[in-house]
Amino acid sequence: MDKYFVNLEGETPKYVIITKHIKKLIDTNNIEDGEKLPSIRSLSKFLKVNNVTIVNAYKKLQNEGYAVQKMGSGSYAKKKDITKNFRKEYSEALKKIAGKAMQEYIDFTGETPSNNFFPVQSFKDVLNEVLDRDGAEALIYQEALGYEGLRTSISEVFWNKNIKSDNILIVSGAQQGIDIVSKALINTNDSVIVEKPTYSGALSVFKWRRANIYEVPMEENGIDIDKFEKILKKNNIKCFYTMSYFQNPTGMSYSIRKKQQILNLAEIYDFYIIEDDYLAELIYDKRIEYKSFKSLDKNDRVIYIKSFSKIFLPGIRIGYLIPTARFKESIENSKINTDISTSSLMQRALDLYIRKGLWKDYMSNLNEIYKSRYLLMESYIKLYLEDKIEFISPGGGINFYLKIKDFIDMDSIQLFRKAKNKNVLITPGTLFYKNPLEGKRYFKIGFSQIDEDSMKKGLNIINELLE
């Protein structure tokens, strides 16, 4: 009963104070969903108020969706799902302020590098060279698996010829890659494991395939292996979807040891790994060593997906996929049935861009620029928000994942709405969980689209809202 104690002094009506206190207990899980609330008589006696005050408080809780009354039994706590329909609200809000209107906002939602750093002139020169070399063929000629020259470049430059060009499939970005793989692998009621939290686009694809989705919590160096294996022992798992570097949204990266453990488990329990190699080019902490699941895979268990769009230029929409031998044909057929071919001109241009060494130079420059921004953002988060949030520095990538401390009476959806009204955009954590309620205390902020002044101003506004 002690948790129900609240100071009732002040001008605010007592029943309002009691209602607010019980709502907070429910929101913070101090009162469980479905837990029976104290009887009117016992709570009025404990708080030294009359019965009518408690009756009014319970009625207000019911009206606001925080309690239900069962005839002859009493009142019971009800966890209000404020996340219902929020995904739609969030998407529509960003659509409304897209384009020129976005310039009025401090945008912490960006998930791609700023176009201010894109080497327009050098890419323009490459495009012209491709058109001079290939003529109309660059615009018309298509290959189902992707342009052979680009597949060869990827094999030579990124895989040191350890992956044959015939085993590389060009796709229109990582999202299409996930979609193609899921169509080839996953049928209704197949079981998949995802990280908790995880990329919302992947969650949507697996839900659309009507898969049974199991979640394993992320730790600082990858998923919790013990909980992972418990799921594997009890269920016939088809595949595990993972973002191996700077996972979206947590920013965490897998240790090589944990990757090897997961690869061993894949062989023991006969499942496949869908590796979404996200932002691995942006490693700032040199203690993080780059070795993908695919590069460590000795038993052909990893289906590898890489997007050039995220790190290069979103409008280009190019990525690639490396299937396992078992699913190679079905994945290729899935790609052909989806859209036949990705832009021939852009594939040829990207091939030449890589062959000329321009890709390597651009990545080196981008890494230097974003390391500086990363360190600034990290320092400003500590300066403005450290007493109100918790976070782990990811050591790379383009965002931070923050947890609102429990003593603050605000969740990330409320923060999103209040911040939007002050022209600041954040990404609530509810979007990254199978059960959105689990992300209520989290939000993601990226630094790819904002300058130093905007960082300071935006974080200061968030700080004021969390006061």
Residue 340 has pLDDT above 80, yes or no: no
What's the mean per-residue pLDDT of the chain? 91
Residue 222 has pLDDT above 80, yes or no: yes
Confidence of residue 341 (pLDDT cuts 50, 70, 90): low
Residue 45: is it exposed, middle or buried by C-beta count within 10 angstroms (0-12/13-18/19+)? middle
Q: The tokens 């329990």 sit on which residue?
A: 269
Q: What is the pLDDT of residue 80?
A: 65
For residues 154 and 384, what is the distance between their CA atoms, to the nearest angstrom? 43
Dump pLDDT digits (tens) for 137-187: 888 767 888 999 999 999 999 999 999 999 999 998 899 999 999 999 999
- Better-scored residue on pLDDT, 202 or 114: 202
Decide if 311 contacts 110 (C-beta within 8 A).
Answer: no
Residues 6+ apart with CB under 8 A from 410: 404, 418, 465, 466
- Name residue 102's amino acid: M
Residue 84 has pLDDT above 70, yes or no: no
Residues 6+ apart with CB under 8 A from 349: 123, 126, 127, 130
Region 40-46: mean pLDDT is 91
Write down all domains in the chain, each with its CATH number in brackets: 2-77 (1.10.10.10), 86-110+361-466 (3.90.1150.10), 139-356 (3.40.640.10)
Q: What is the pLDDT of residue 81?
A: 60
Phi, psi for residue 128 in degrees, rounded to 5: -65, -40
Residue 114 has pLDDT above 80, yes or no: no
Residue 449 has pLDDT above 90, yes or no: no
Q: What is the pLDDT of residue 91?
A: 84
Confidence of residue 100 (pLDDT cuts 50, 70, 90): low
- Better-scored residue on pLDDT, 254 or 31: 254
Of the chain, the percentage scoring pLDDT greater than 90 comes to 68
Q: What is the pLDDT of residue 186?
A: 95
For residues 119 and 362, what is the distance between their CA atoms, to the nearest angstrom? 8
For residues 241 and 231, what is the distance between their CA atoms, to the nearest angstrom? 14
Region 317-328: mean pLDDT is 94
Dump pLDDT digits (tens) for 371-421: 999 999 999 999 999 899 999 999 999 999 999 998 898 999 999 999 999
Q: What is the pLDDT of residue 64?
A: 82
Residue 113 has pLDDT above 80, yes or no: no
Q: What is the pLDDT of residue 117?
A: 79
Residues 6+ apart with CB under 8 A from 176: 319, 338, 339
